[in-house]
């Protein structure tokens, strides 16, 4: 069973619950790293544990949600080996995998509705990295990562 780690802040917890359900229905083993409910929390406290797991290779993929998705994507991309893509449309969700090999999908919980979010998650999960010239570009990004936090 493919494993996937998911987390959100308060602005994304409702959407997180729905995506979790969707992933479980589709046969994924989901690790929910919080938060739950509407109590105001700080998104780095929830984004960091998921990004760390993906960075170290404990999890191949993660999903992060905050209000806009911006905060979570800033946090996640501080970690080596993490390619976090903030997407709020299906085309970007597909490109995030095909061109960027994104291993963390970030969604704006105050932007995307549940239907769109499910569609974006499915599209990202089904897409395949195209490699080739895109790998060359990722290799250039990898160079920047030397000395970054893991």
Active site residues: 66, 99
Min dist CB 48 to ligand RB5, Å, is: 14
Contacts with ligand RB5: how many residues (CB under 6 A)? 8
Find the binder of ligand RB5 among 6, 19, 51, 66 (CB under 6 A): 66
CB nearer to ligand RB5: pick between 68 and 77: 68
DSSP characters over the chain: --EEEEEE-TTTHHHHHHHHHHHHHTT-EEEE----SSS---HHHHHHHHHHHHHHTS-SEEEEEESSSHHHHHHHTTSTT--EEE-SSHHHHHHHHHTT--SEEEEETTTS-HHHHHHHHHHHHH-----THHHHHHHHHHHHHTT---
Min dist CB 18 to ligand RB5, Å, is: 17
Question: Which listed range, 51-59, 63-71, 96-104, 128-136, lies at the site for ligand RB5 (CB under 6 A)?
Answer: 63-71
Question: Any contact of residue 9 with ligand RB5 (CB under 6 A)?
Answer: yes
């Amino acid at each position: 069973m493919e494993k996937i780690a998911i987390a959100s802040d308060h602005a994304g917890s409702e959407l997180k619950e729905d995506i979790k359900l969707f992933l479980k229905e589709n046969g994924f083993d989901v690790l929910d790293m919080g938060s739950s409910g509407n109590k105001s929390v700080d998104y780095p406290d929830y984004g960091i544990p998921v990004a760390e797991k993906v960075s170290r290779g404990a999890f191949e993929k993660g999903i992060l949600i905050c209000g806009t998705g911006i905060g979570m994507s800033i946090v996640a991309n501080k970690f080596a080996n993490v390619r976090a893509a903030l997407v709020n449309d299906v085309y970007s969700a597909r490109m995030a995998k095909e061109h960027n090999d994104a291993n963390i999908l970030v969604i704006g919980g105050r932007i995307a509705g549940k239907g769109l979010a499910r569609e974006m998650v499915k599209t990202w999960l089904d897409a395949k990295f195209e490699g080739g010239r895109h790998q060359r570009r990722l290799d250039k990004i990898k160079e920047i990562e030397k000395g970054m936090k893991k």
